[in-house]
Amino acid sequence: MTAVSSLWRLIRTGATFERTGAMREALETLDVPPALRVAARVIGRPFAWLGLKGDESLPPVVRALSALGPAYIKFGQVLSTRPDVVGPVMAQDLRVLQDKLPPFDEAEARAEVLRELGAPVEELFSEFSPPIAAASIAQVHRAVMRDDGRAVAVKILRPGIERAFRRDVDAFFFAARMVELLSPSSRRLRPTAVIEHFSSVVRGELDLRMEASAAGEFRANTAEDPGFRVPEVIWPLSARRVLTTEWVSGTAMGDVPALTAEGQDMKGLAASVVQTFLHHALRDGFFHGDMHQGNLKVGPGGEIIALDFGIMGRIDAYTRRVYAEILMGFLKKDYRRVAEVHFEAGYVPADRDVSEFAQALRSIGEPIFGQDSSRISMGRLLAHLFDVTERFGMETQTQLILLQRTMVVVEGVGRSLDPNMNMWEVARPVVESYIRDNLGPKAVLRDLAGTARILSRFGPLLPQMAEELLIRTNRDMRPVEAKPLVPVWIWTVGGVVVGAVAGAAVAAAF
């Protein structure tokens, strides 16, 4: 996609928001300063005729995002979980984007099954329903397998979805590069890296074989988790653009009146959503990265049923510990330790003052504790955090983007069930449990055992490595430089001894 076409796409985005009336509603909802609000309207009005018309039966913002395509719809899905940011009315409107979009023709779905699975629908299934849910990427059909009579869900990608996403992502890249060029101060936020991360996530979501694999891994990781369920993947009936899983029954988590009528414990359910997410992220480093209401159901027994595994997140063991220490520091109001962790991890430049950073963190954390969460404006809190990170030169941590975004979404889901939920208090037991298991003496011994296990694998190679090193050193050295052979021999013998000790340690441990 060329720069001209990307620029055109961005212009048309603004024009579409103006034409549908979404511009005014969005500016008012987000409480944009009056001067910027007027400027946006004055600049946008002359181009309104270039905007997409959209479905006039939809609310303005939903109408604009739906008309602009799947990448914009994804953005709307995130906002739908944040009534504290966009207001309860718009949040409710945006939930249409989760799984109630117009479906594509059933004949196209059947043709896709034939192309991907090599057999017609009638041969594979005894029943195949019209689409029961349609989202930005795909739609779902309920079916019954012909060979064993099992009820299944068949997910099929929308026709042309790959090209549509590629067009939007190219435009986002163009916008990110322009921001970096015109605003050098924004480079610390690494907008291009952020879009690259988003692009990689989208690429994975558009290959249903990757989703099937993620679902299988997630199901294995959570098999023993009480109150949480992941559907089984039907591998013989899954391919790049078709995914088949077992059918699961439950009430949509977004249907709060129905859950209340069933007698579900709404407060407990809200806490469970948050704690489940944190448990998966900290324990496994592998978590559901798209936990909005459209991807969650509640079973008859109150169990959480997760769906749609196209966006999954991973964080390594070290980053998990950093993240947990930061959370724990906030929970204990130990802002000095939170600041130190940021410096130790390299998140803040080393030339900045730790004490000043701790003071700035206190100004963020203190308003959270001891208050009813309904009195906390997440929008103002995020704005304050942005000011602090800008002041101290923090760069965007791309490895944490999805984790941070999902944390925001999960909190929104929890508050939709329990408006008075305090995210920090709900998170405390999970974080404290992780800290006990991963930052205490047992964790040190476990880390040492892991290190020994790795070293032991190289034990058989150490003699050969030592010999090659000695030959290379002896060949390259001049006679007057013979003395360094002593430390080389010491290093070599030490390596062999370490390997042998490591092997013995592992043998003793197992």
382 and 273, same structural domain? yes
155 and 267, same structural domain? no
User: Is 290 a known active-site residue?
Assistant: yes
Contact (Cβ atoms closer than 8 angstroms) between residue 311 and residue 290: yes
128 and 50, same structural domain? no
The rounded percent of the chain whose pLDDT value lies above 70 is 78
156 and 107, same structural domain? yes
Q: What is the pLDDT of residue 501?
A: 38
pLDDT tens digits for range 360-413 = 888 877 876 666 655 555 545 555 666 677 678 777 666 676 787 788 788 888
Measured CA to CA, the distance from residue 139 to residue 134 in angstroms comes to: 4
Which of 247, 273, 307 marks a domain boundary?
247
291 and 198, same structural domain? no
194 and 232, same structural domain? yes
Exposed e or buried b per residue across 68-81, where buried means at least 16 C-beta atoms within 10 angstroms of its C-beta: bbbbbbbebbbbbb
19 and 128, same structural domain? no
Query: Which one is catalytic: 290, 418, 437, 476?
Result: 290
259 and 242, same structural domain? no
**What string of pLDDT tens digits covers the 510 residues of the chain?**
567 777 777 788 888 888 888 888 877 776 666 765 676 666 667 778 788 888 888 888 888 888 888 778 877 776 676 665 677 778 778 877 766 678 889 999 999 999 999 999 999 999 999 999 887 788 999 999 999 999 999 999 998 888 888 888 888 788 778 777 766 766 665 678 767 766 777 777 789 999 999 999 999 999 999 999 999 999 999 999 999 999 999 999 989 999 999 999 999 999 999 999 999 999 999 999 888 888 899 998 899 999 999 888 888 888 888 888 888 888 788 999 988 988 888 888 888 999 998 998 888 778 766 666 555 555 455 556 666 776 787 776 666 767 877 887 888 888 889 988 887 788 889 888 888 888 766 666 776 777 777 767 776 777 777 778 778 777 766 554 444 444 443 443 344 333 433 333 333 333
Which of 423, 439, 455 marks a domain boundary?
439
374 and 501, same structural domain? no
pTM above 0.75, yes or no: no
Question: What range does the domain containing 30 cover?
Answer: 3-97
**DSSP state at residue 104:** P
Q: How many CA atoms lie within 13 A of 225 on its CB side?
A: 24
Q: State how many domains the chain has.
A: 4
Which of 222, 247, 272 marks a domain boundary?
247
365 and 388, same structural domain? yes
- Beta bridge partners of residue 288, listed in sequence order: 312
Measured CA to CA, the distance from residue 238 to residue 211 in angstroms comes to: 10
93 membership: H or E segment, kind and range: helix 88-94
